[in-house]
Amino acid sequence: MRLPHVWRPLQGETGMMTAEKTHHWRGELKINEPMSRHTSWRAGGRARRFFKPADLDDLCDFLQEMDPQEPLLWVGLGSNLLVRDGGFPGTVIHTLGVLTEMEWLDDATLRAGAGVTCAKVARVTAKQGLIGAEFLAGIPGSLGGALAMNAGAFGGETWDHVAAVETIDRMGRLHNRLPEEFRVAYRTVEGVADEWFVAARLSLQHGDADTAQSKIRELLAKRSATQPTNQYSCGSVFRNPPGDHAARLIDSAGLKGKILGGAQVSEKHANYIINTGNASAADIETLVNQVQGIVEQLYDVRLDTEVRVVGEHAAR
């Protein structure tokens, strides 16, 4: 096994980290990278290290040379993520634009990399005349993120169509795993610790291409009409409680339009919190907590978040 690589950053204004020539990876490594550039909320602090691999082999090499105790955060489109203003004290692995391969294993099974957007999976499968994945068009994230949280929309859920997944561990080793190796529930997926999704095999049903593509257009039109798709948000903030909808409870509590700093509960859809332009991560997190508290006080219902909050609070 290769020895862990010792990072030795050079001084400069670009934020790039230049390392010794002994490393084996080929990707781009930055230090103190603003995560506001890589999350759909456009808010949050900096990542101490930020690595964009060239490809899967490169990612394996990078992980093999990393300190096994290094905190890791995997980010695709960053649509379900809030990085606190104090930043992330570890390494971000950025897969957007990487792990984007797609391949038909048979006429109803698609292998797609974790970096492929959910919207593209929906389009490609519909064009193939397959049905079941149209709902993915309404999820503003990548397949890796959808696998990690069993993302869903319009009545569909990601893991309903997973035949197998491929994962990578902290040592850069690849694994093939079956759905029964995971505990999958509503917006929750639990599997082997310290493994991350790099690809999935999706099994779908044969149908009519025109019908599937028409359904995608209908879902996107509905999403545009009911959700603030043209504003900075993370998508839905809260999971729906059993037998109810988070948006209904928040609206009933009179919280639509509530503002805290640069963050606001959307007036279009109460389960969205938007960055009006200058929100800090603290603004957003505080507003999330306030909404939770008020709804629980009024209705005795605790709204659990879908969004993942990571990192450190800014120093006071």
User: Which contiguous run of DSSP H or E holds residue 32?
Assistant: strand 28-34
Q: Is 306 a catalytic residue?
A: yes
Q: What are phi and psi of 74, to 5 degrees?
A: -100, 130
From the list 36, 187, 280, 285, the catalytic residue is: 187
Asked whether 72 and 88 are in contact (CB, 8 A), the reply is no
Q: Among 128, 193, 116, 195, which residue's Cα sits nearest to residue 158?
A: 116
Query: Could you give the dihedral angle defined by the CA atoms of residues 151, 155, 161 and 166, in that order, rounded to the nearest 10 degrees?
Result: 0
Residues 6 or more apart whose Cβ sits within 8 Å of residue 176 = 164, 165, 166
Q: Is 13 a catalytic residue?
A: no
DSSP 37: G
| Span between the terminal Cα atoms of the chain, in Å | 43
Asked whether 120 and 142 are in contact (CB, 8 A), the reply is no
From the list 36, 236, 266, 280, the catalytic residue is: 236
Q: Is 187 a catalytic residue?
A: yes
Catalytic machinery residues: 187, 236, 306
